[in-house]
Chain A
């Protein structure tokens, strides 16, 4: 099996398309939106800053990381396989990819993508004449 295109929530302006590569572990994510932008949290246990790669190209956000196992002996009982993480999201063009920020703490990646100024909600004052 190669690459898979999955259409998720058609008509959603935030992410129209999501791509995953099934030879990799697809990390669980939380994505939420505020007026300022979106925040993505991804579970990447065992991943350090050095092993993590976040790219954005033409709105296609790629999170890629090298997983590792700390076990010194061969497992006798296994619930997970150590592997590499990979997940892609297509972002709408209302986001400002230049100002994306990323940090990783305790195996959780936090990505913040702000909305471009034009896309932020604005309160309009009404003046009486």
Chain B
């Protein structure tokens, strides 16, 4: 019964700390990416920023680049796509944790970006979007003069 107690504790913790769900300590009980429709956000996204760009990294294993669509509008990046499953002959399932379906995520960007300069790169199931920050949105240093 020890496992049951551990699982319950785990789900409580995840309720509070949603941003780290499925990873780190305790991830061993739950599948990682798509455990069914509506249960978890897919794809998982990390957002980063330096002085010139906003970066969005999304985990989209098993999705073809042609099935991915990106739009940027008014400071919101929308990522839509579909993870397809090849279906053939009859199968007996032993594990089914990955899931497959259409998905959509909207990501609020922390800064005004230059929509014409957006670069999206896809490799090995990871999408990296680089969005350049607009000049007027960058912090401007003002020098203080003394009399």
Q: Which are the 8 A-B pairs with shortest beta-carbon distances?
A: A107-B125, A107-B61, A77-B47, A45-B125, A73-B48, A28-B97, A32-B91, A28-B31
Is A123 an interface residue when CB atoms closer than 8 A count as contact?
no
Number of B interface residues in the complex (CB < 8 A): 51
Is B112 interfacial (CB-CB < 8 Å)? Answer: no
Given known contacts A22-B27, A69-B57, A79 and B45 CB-to-CB distance under 8 angstroms: yes
Whether B27 pairs with A25 at a CB distance below 8 angstroms is yes
Mask of B40-74 contacts with A, CB within 8 angstroms, 1/0: 01001111111001010101111110000000000
Residues A25 and B23 in contact, CB atoms below 8 Å apart: yes
The A interface is mostly helix, strand or loop, or mixed, namely loop
A38 to B95, CA, bound (A): 11
Residues of B within 8 A of A (CB): 3, 19-28, 31-35, 41, 44-50, 53, 55, 57, 59-64, 89-99, 110, 121, 123-126, 128
Give A residues with C-beta under 8 Å from B: 1, 4, 6, 12, 14-15, 20-22, 25-34, 38, 41, 43-48, 69-81, 83, 104, 106-108
